[in-house]
Amino acid sequence: MTTSVLNLIDGQWVGEPDTERRNPARPDQIVSMSPRSDAASVDDALVAAQQAQPAWAALPPPARGAVLLDAADLLRSRQPEVARDLVLEEGKTLTEAMGEVRRAIDVLRYFGSQGWALGGDVLPSSVAGTTVFTRSEPIGIAALITPWNFPIAIPAWKAAPALISGNAVVLKPAGLTSLSATHLARALVDAGLPAGVLNVVHGQGSVIGDALARDTRVGALSFTGSTAVGLGLHEVLSQRRARVQLEMGGKNGYLVLDDADPVAAAQVVAAGAFSLTGQACTATSRVYCTPGIRDEFVAALVKASERFVPGDGLEPSTGMGPVVSEQQLRVDLDAIRRALEQGAAVAAGGTESGGLLLPPTVLTDVAHDFDVARNEVFGPVLAVIGVDDYDEGLALINDSQYGLTAGICTTSLRAAHDFAARVQVGVVKANRPTTGLDLNVPFGGVKDSSTNTFREQGPNAVDFYTWSKTVYMGYE
């Protein structure tokens, strides 16, 4: 059954669905149809947001929070249906999809509860009879551009802090996953979010994203996606001094030391590399291993990869979903082909197994200067690279244009703490997969992975969507 997805503008579902999205596991099945909107739709959404924002900001924060909390309850009641649709359009396994919807629910609850905690600081004044305090004011209109790989969780963790802070939002979801984002929007609307406070515009990123970035009514833009697109948006927004938050690419490295258990290390690395079909900005894509454990680790890694059997995410036997699209599959296969041309060997996987199914691929005999060790692939492709010792491994992990996540497997507290201190990334994992992050902690990277200014998630996520005002109040 095909679902029609519409734009949400000023509380109304509008637009002409003309763009199809097919199930990556069953390409003959059309999952949804969505509009290919233009700049005029963006203008309509911004007009609605501009009109609705002052009244929304005037509501007490606990009242705004109540809407988010009610939306979380609605989404919880719809979780099985929403997760199934997520599987159909993005390809995750049902277990992964249920977990992602749960993440969106928890994000709404977390920021909904923040309505009782928002406020400024009271500070001493050098002037008698004077109190100094700060106020956090909403930016006004926040534009959100979100990717296909976490199609409901990322829109939730961007929209929730923006909304609780008193902003109106214009959301541009990824074209491949318009249905999942619509489920989030519908829950907020059904929970009583006033018309115009949240607007959703579907269409091509080059059209919708560019219109949002250039419009002076947009006070802040938060983007998750490729580094090339993010840096282009940053240039446009910086020219007009608008606030911009970018979370972009990653080439996440893992260091496995001789003192680690090879089987346990392989399980950790495989989970970080192959869960979510490797289609996560935090996925492990290169692993550096010291000599004493290398052969045992590679053998265990190949064995660990076998549980990620690719298939339809709705089938219980499936351990890993399909690649999201033909275009992404070509990127994955081209990366493998180029690695083999440069001298790599295939220890597991390496070729598609039908349709958009690509088994977990483990490449060995990889050198640090191979393309597959330098460039983001965004698929279930893992490069194993030998290093002589800890210092070389750390240096090579840091020798990257990206700096999102990194990990180390070791039983040495000294090595783990030294790694955490010296590795140049935003998120460090010791003896844990690089994927996965608690919602109450900051998320972001350095180098070409992020603007490295305002972090997403956690109690300080609202900082991006607010500005601080200092007030001197004399009473004598």
Element (H, E) at 89: helix 79-90
Return the structure tokens found at 394. 């750390």
Q: Select which of 281, 366, 427, 462 is catalytic.
A: 281
CB 94 within 8 A of CB 84: yes
144: enclosing H helix or E strand: strand 141-145
> Rounded to whole angstroms, how far apart are CA atoms 336 and 365?
13
Question: Is 281 among the catalytic positions?
Answer: yes
Q: Are 168 and 142 in contact (CB under 8 A)?
A: yes
The vertex-167 CA angle with 186 and 110, nearest 5°, equals 65
- Output b/e per residue, 192-228; b: 16+ Cβ within 10 A: ebbebbbbbbbbebebbbbbbbbbebbbbbbbbbbbe
Local structure of 39: helix, strand or coil? helix
Contact 333, 357 (CB under 8 A): no
Count of Cβ atoms closer than 10 Å to residue 77 Cβ = 12
Q: Which helix (H) or strand (E) holds 286?
A: strand 284-289
Which positions are annotated as active-site residues? 281
